[in-house]
Amino acid sequence: MARDPVIEGFVPAMERALDEARQAFDEGEIPVGAVVLDASGEIIGTGRNERERSADPTGHAEIVAMRRAAASLGEWRLSGCTLVVTLEPCTMCAGASVQARLDRVVYGAVDPKAGAVGSLWDVVRDRRLNHRPEVIAEVMADECAALLIEFFAHRRVR
């Protein structure tokens, strides 16, 4: 089967996001990782879930990565940037990606229970919004899902 060159282009960034997710796993956080790429493809922000550690309900990987990217750029607008995340964003993170004016959202595993980028909801492509990022779904989906499955399997054993 032919490989999609667009998806293949995001594999290195997804691998870096998976590294962040693995660190979250090791820290007892739900293993979701994210990176933000600038227009040239350089990583300008990284993040992993840190809700437990920070006692912050907004401590999702995407929010952390977007905050770091905005700090790196010195502005809140992330125009020209791409968010790469291991799990389909929730409504909060999908909304934040619209508000940040990201050009693109790339995600790995589909989240049928809380996904807001095409699964349960489709916040980022709502025609009523003034900005709609491009979506590239299921990049390294199996690898991203496997880490989450492993995490929750360990949690159930305890």
What angle is formed at CA 136 by the lines to CA 113 and CA 12, rounded to 5 degrees? 105
Asked if residue 144 belongs to a known ligand binding site, the reply is no
Asked if residue 90 belongs to a known ligand binding site, the reply is yes
Give how far the C-alpha of residue 29 lies from the chain's centroid of Cα atoms, to the nearest Å: 15
Residues forming the active site? 62
Cβ atoms of residues 139 and 7 within 8 Å: yes
Asked if residue 154 belongs to a known ligand binding site, the reply is no
Greatest extent of the chain over all pairs of C-alpha atoms, in Å? 46
Q: Which residues are annotated as a binding site?
A: 60, 90, 93
Q: Which residues are annotated as a binding site for Zn(2+)?
A: 60, 90, 93
